[in-house]
Amino acid sequence: MDRGHSTNQHGHPDRDYFIDLENTYGAHNYKPLDVVLERGEGIWVWDVAGNRYMDCLSAYSAVNQGHCHPRILAAAVEQARKLTLTSRAFRNDQLGPFYRELCELTSSHKVLPMNSGAEAVETVIKSVRKWGYQVKGVPSDQAEVIVCANNFHGRTITIVGFSTDESSRAGFGPFTPGFKVVPYGDAEALERAITSNTVGFLVEPIQGEAGVIIPPAGYLRRARELCTRHNVVLILDEIQTGLGRTGKLLAEQHEGIESDLSLIGKALSGGFYPVSAVLSNSEVLGVLKPGEHGSTFGGNPLACAIARAALKALVEEGMIENAARMGDYFLAALSRFKSPIVKEVRGKGLLIGVELLPEAGGARRFCEKLMSRGLLCKETHENTIRFAPPLIIRQAELDWAIEQIQSVLAEG
Ligand SMILES: *Cc1c(COP(=O)(O)O)cnc(C)c1O
């Protein structure tokens, strides 16, 4: 710590000190923007030098409620003082109320709580396979799950095994068999891929990581019909699109459908703690019997108390309606820019992608320019900038963001 170049005039370690530590001692599996944050409140975060930034990423939509939301914080502190972890060997007084509140809010029948999003995805894959053998009558070890090209569902071996993104999967094989990939947004391709061994279709309502890719209108409705007709479980990964991000509680509501299984995570805790859940409208979760699946931390009282407060904040403070209103406003403003380097602006609610033409030289340098103007966002793939501010953002704040974005695009 006593390194001359890395303290500021008050003797506090500066940005470079923390960056050096990360580079020296950490695995380099990320390439973050070089901003070192130490504090957050609402849509704002502050770096170690005291500079303020508007957060337009929201930790990949995990802090939809804004940073350090006071009601979630109070629930977290109160519960942390009382009881944090019992394991599921015993019951706790937060789990049941969490189940009921989540089921009532999402019109689900059953919930299975996990921690990370990837664990929720693994949970549904296990569940639909077992359902396939026990209920649908698929011959043993023949179950197939259909997924989409350019999907993002997490980072475990099984999940990256059915990714089509080379950097996610190259060098990590051998992979889990039993997956088929079809083009995203193409219901005919889905229908052709279904066989009598197909147990599930796993799909994101909007592909966030792929660059905010929105499927053609009616796609999810078609997928719903096909899954029903062929006795296939429709699984929507709403880990990023759910909990208000697109202007509805769940993105499935834009098409007026109901999945059989939906996955939520990220904003389920408002960013305080990893909490994910599988929501079930069908008999699928019923195939899991005691001892067949679990997680030491899944459903712990601290997680449940935090998630209950995070859901209440989202609903009672009108964040979902605000996301719809502000999202329309933001998208309209960005779409009005006449920029020779913008290929397309697209989005739903406050999940917005600005895709640049390849000639623009990549989205990263625009993110760096925006950072120096006090706005944090991140490129997704080469050429798309994703804007996903907390759902509490107000119009005047968006106006400022729009001005910054317009300026850096005009600079080219
Ligand atoms: C983030 C994300 C996941 C994985 O969640 P983790 O908590 O990082 O494991 C899965 N699916 C989608 C759509 C996501 O955006």
State the chain's mean pLDDT as an integer.
96
Judged against a pLDDT cut of 50, whether residue 190 lies above it is answered with yes
**Angle value at C-alpha 208, between 348 and 245, nearest 5 degrees:** 45
Q: In the CATH hierarchy, which fold is given to the domain comprising 70-316?
A: Aspartate Aminotransferase; domain 2 (3.40.640)
Judged against a pLDDT cut of 50, whether residue 325 lies above it is answered with yes
Ligand 1 pocket check: which of 115, 123, 207, 266 to mutate, most ligand atoms within 8 Å of Cβ?
A: 266
> Rounded to an integer, what distance in angstroms lies between the CA atom of residue 37 and that of residue 53?
9
Q: Is the CB of 61 under 6 A from ligand 1?
A: no
- Report yes or no: 13 and 48 within 8 Å, Cβ to Cβ: yes
Q: Which residues participate in catalysis according to the annotation? A: 152, 237, 266
**Angle value at C-alpha 320, between 316 and 321, nearest 5 degrees:** 95
Atom of ligand 1 nearest to the CA of 119: 9
Q: Give the distance (Å) from ligand 1 centre to CA of residue 240.
A: 7
Q: Is the CB of 205 under 6 A from ligand 1?
A: no
Nearest to 120 by CA among 260, 234, 264, 259: 264
Ligand 1 pocket check: which of 30, 214, 240, 259 to mutate, most ligand atoms within 8 Å of Cβ?
A: 240
For residue 179, list its beta bridge partners.
145
> Rounded to an integer, what distance in angstroms lies between the CA atom of residue 178 and that of residue 144?
5
Phi-psi label, residue 59: left if phi above 0, alpha if psi -120 to 50, beta otherwise: left
Give, in words, the CATH class of 31-65+318-411. Answer: alpha beta
Please compute the mean of the pLDDT values over residues 326-342 and round it to a whole number. 95
For residue 279, list its beta bridge partners.
111, 262
Per DSSP, 135 falls in state: I
The reported pLDDT for the residue numbered 18 is 97
- Give the side-chain half-sphere CA count within 13 A for 119: 18
Per DSSP bridges, beta strands 261-264 and 351-356 are: unpaired
Q: Is the CB of 245 under 6 A from ligand 1?
A: no
Could you report the per-residue pLDDT of 24-75, keeping only the tens digit for each? Answer: 999 999 999 999 999 999 999 999 999 999 999 999 999 999 999 999 999 9
- Report yes or no: 124 and 277 within 8 Å, Cβ to Cβ: no
**Dihedral, CA of residue 110, residue 112, residue 117 and residue 123, to nearest 10:** -100
Phi and psi at residue 281, to the nearest 5°: -105, 0
Q: Give the distance (Å) from ligand 1 centre to CA of residue 237.
A: 8
Residue 311: strand, helix, or coil: helix
Task: Kindly tell me the sign of the dihedral angle through the C-alpha atoms of 384, 385, 391, 396.
Answer: negative
Indicate the domain borders of the chain.
31-65+318-411, 70-316
Cα–Cα distances in angstroms (integers) from residue 290 to residues 96, 235, 244, 256, in the given order: 17, 23, 33, 34
Q: Is the CB of 208 under 6 A from ligand 1?
A: yes
pLDDT bucket at 283, cuts 50 / 70 / 90: confident
Q: For residue 77, what are its two tokens?
A: 């502190």
**Dihedral, CA of residue 315, residue 321, residue 327 and residue 332, to nearest 10:** 180
Q: Give the distance (Å) from ligand 1 centre to CA of residue 80.
A: 26
Where in 115-259 does DSSP place strands (E)? 144-148, 179-182, 198-203, 233-237
- Report yes or no: 404 and 375 within 8 Å, Cβ to Cβ: yes
CB contact set of 196 (below 8 Å; sequence gap of 6+): 138
Residue 288: strand, helix, or coil: coil
The reported pLDDT for the residue numbered 290 is 97
CB contact set of 156 (below 8 Å; sequence gap of 6+): 118, 121, 122
Judged against a pLDDT cut of 70, whether residue 102 lies above it is answered with yes
- Report yes or no: 129 and 199 within 8 Å, Cβ to Cβ: yes
Q: For residue 33, what are its two tokens?
A: 């923007």
Atom of ligand 1 nearest to the CA of 116: 7
Q: Is the CB of 242 under 6 A from ligand 1?
A: no
pLDDT bucket at 4, cuts 50 / 70 / 90: very low
Judged against a pLDDT cut of 50, whether residue 2 lies above it is answered with no
Q: Give the distance (Å) from ligand 1 centre to CA of residue 120.
A: 9
Judged against a pLDDT cut of 90, whether residue 338 lies above it is answered with no
Judged against a pLDDT cut of 90, whether residue 240 lies above it is answered with yes
> Rounded to an integer, what distance in angstroms lies between the CA atom of residue 410 and that of residue 389?
22
Q: Is the CB of 264 under 6 A from ligand 1?
A: no
Q: Give the distance (Å) from ligand 1 centre to CA of residue 358.
A: 27
Atom of ligand 1 nearest to the CA of 209: 15
pLDDT bucket at 5, cuts 50 / 70 / 90: low
> Rounded to an integer, what distance in angstroms lies between the CA atom of residue 390 and that of residue 395?
13
Could you report the per-residue pLDDT of 352-405, keeping only the tens digit for each? Answer: 999 999 999 999 999 999 999 999 999 998 999 999 999 999 999 999 999 999
31-65+318-411 and 70-316 have identical folds = no
Please compute the mean of the pLDDT values over residues 135-153 and round it to a whole number. 98
Tell me the residue length of the chain: 412
Residue 313: strand, helix, or coil: helix
To the nearest 10 degrees (0 to 180), the angle between helices 95-106 and 301-316 is 30
